[in-house]
Amino acid sequence: MPTYARLPVSFERGTGAWLYDQDGNPYLDALTGIAVCGLGHAHEGVQKVVAKQAGTLLHTSNLYEIDLQTSLAARLCEISGMDNVFFCNSGAEANEAAIKIARMYGHKLGIDNPIILVMRGAFHGRTLATLTATANRKIQAGFEPLVPGFVRTEFGDMDAVRATTKNTKNIVAVLVEPIQGEAGIHQPPTGYLRALRDHCEAHNWLLMLDEVQTGNARTGRYFAFQHERGLLPDVLTTAKGLGNGVPIGACLAAGKAAGMLGAGAHGSTFGGNLLACAAAHAVLDAIESGDLEARATALGKRIRSGIESALLGSNRIKEIRGLGLMIGVELAAETKGVVPAALERGLLINCIGDRVVRLLPALTMNDEEADELVARLADTLKAL
Ligand SMILES: *Cc1c(COP(=O)(O)O)cnc(C)c1O
């Protein structure tokens, strides 16, 4: 079905930060399959483990113990400070699990119609519940009736949260991205997550962080919430970069939220199978051994300052936003034509909203590739 307006190019192979089309033309990939291939393409560690697993055992179902899943859960809990994990196959599914946890939590408090607070500008996925939680009308239009049980407030604004709290009964949880991705790479003010954490504590809500895009070392910490010292959410979702291209999602929970989904309460046939867990182990190995969190920070600074010195005086750019390798470049004019012009110059980027160029390059890029990315982007924008 034509659910995507695709660009007229098809890639045959990739290596590191580069993709090659059928004629062998190279493209520098500043998008990595939308924050998925954080280690770059055809990563040796992932490739070896996935090939070996395919020749050993791919799938058994969750009716049996899966040691690779248990050990992956332990590693993710160790990294995040969370207590347990539900594995699934995508970001939307991870958020569905979070939504179910919040509702179960509400019901256990004796609230029959629990409400989840969500944000303006939010993106949480395309299933019926997650598109309801998403703020974009284009994503919802035509799919009504939407799922009940959500109320929306301003992102990054504690006064708005307090006002909504006053006006709304039965809120049991808040679902929020630490940095809004699809809305145009928006960071809330410093201290926002901490204030939300305190507000949740005071009102007995669950703090649920959607780190589907910000997770897996992209912003310079394994999870973006870890930029705030000592802060812990109750529920945490991730997907995208966790398998470097092998589909896997995870919903992590801590404390009271960790006990909400018992046997039979939720499930997934594929979720956390041996192939997906093997790939995610290889991703964690590579992030650890390559110190890729620090690398994301350094590369992000290099790319942002490169763009600044190449373009900031040119009146083409309004603002450069982001953290680590999650970068938004807000243009002074509309982004129409930018993506095809970059493609012509062998650079893969995408645009969100009307004015923001989004960069989500590989954490394994070298400095020369980062500089090449900046040069090609500057060339593209100057030509328009
Ligand atoms: C991409 C994304 C999702 C949805 O993930 P899918 O794997 O496409 O279902 C959810 N939340 C955020 C923040 C995302 O960036």
Q: What is the DSSP letter of 80?
A: H
- Rounded CA-CA distance 351/134 in Å is 18
For residue 213, how far is its CA from the centre of ligand 1 (angstroms)?
7
pLDDT at position 314: 83
- Rounded CA-CA distance 60/48 in Å is 21
- Mutational test site, ligand 1, from 123, 185, 326, 360, max ligand atoms within 8 Å of CB: 123
In ligand 1, which atom is closest to the CA atom of 214?
A: 13
pLDDT at position 27: 98
pLDDT at position 312: 77
- Mutational test site, ligand 1, from 128, 240, 244, 270, max ligand atoms within 8 Å of CB: 240
pLDDT at position 200: 98
Q: Note the Cα 20 to chain centre separation in Å.
A: 25
Indicate which residue's Cα is closest to atom 15 of ligand 1.
213
For residue 310, how far is its CA from the centre of ligand 1 (angstroms)?
32
- Mutational test site, ligand 1, from 213, 238, 244, max ligand atoms within 8 Å of CB: 213
- Rounded CA-CA distance 194/227 in Å is 11
CB distance 363 to 217 below 8 Å? yes
For residue 34, how far is its CA from the centre of ligand 1 (angstroms)?
9
pLDDT at position 157: 98
Beta strand pairing call for 18-21 and 11-15:
antiparallel
pLDDT at position 25: 98
Structure tokens that stand for 244 in this block: 């470097």
For residue 12, how far is its CA from the centre of ligand 1 (angstroms)?
25
Beta strand pairing call for 356-359 and 350-352:
antiparallel
CB distance 87 to 276 below 8 Å? yes
Q: How many helices (H) and strands (E) does the chain have?
A: 12, 15
Which amino acid would we find at residue 48?
Answer: K
Kindly list the protein residues whose Cβ atom lies closer than 6 A to any atom of ligand 1: 90-92, 95, 123-125, 177, 181-182, 210, 212-213, 239-240
Burial class from Cβ neighbours inside 10 Å (0-12, 13-18, 19+) for residue 194 reads: middle
Give me the DSSP letters along 112-132: SS-EEEEETT----SSHHHHH
What does the angle CA 140 – CA 143 – CA 145 come to, to the nearest 5 degrees? Answer: 105
For residue 190, how far is its CA from the centre of ligand 1 (angstroms)?
24
pLDDT at position 384: 87
pLDDT digits (tens), the chain, 384 positions: 999 999 999 999 999 999 999 999 999 999 999 999 999 999 999 999 999 999 999 999 999 999 999 999 999 999 999 999 999 999 999 999 999 999 999 999 999 999 999 999 999 999 999 999 999 999 999 999 999 999 999 999 999 999 999 999 999 999 999 999 999 999 999 999 999 999 999 999 999 999 999 999 999 999 999 999 999 999 999 999 999 999 999 999 999 999 999 999 999 999 999 999 999 999 999 999 999 999 999 999 999 999 999 997 788 999 999 999 999 999 999 999 999 999 999 999 999 989 999 999 999 999 999 999 999 999 999 998
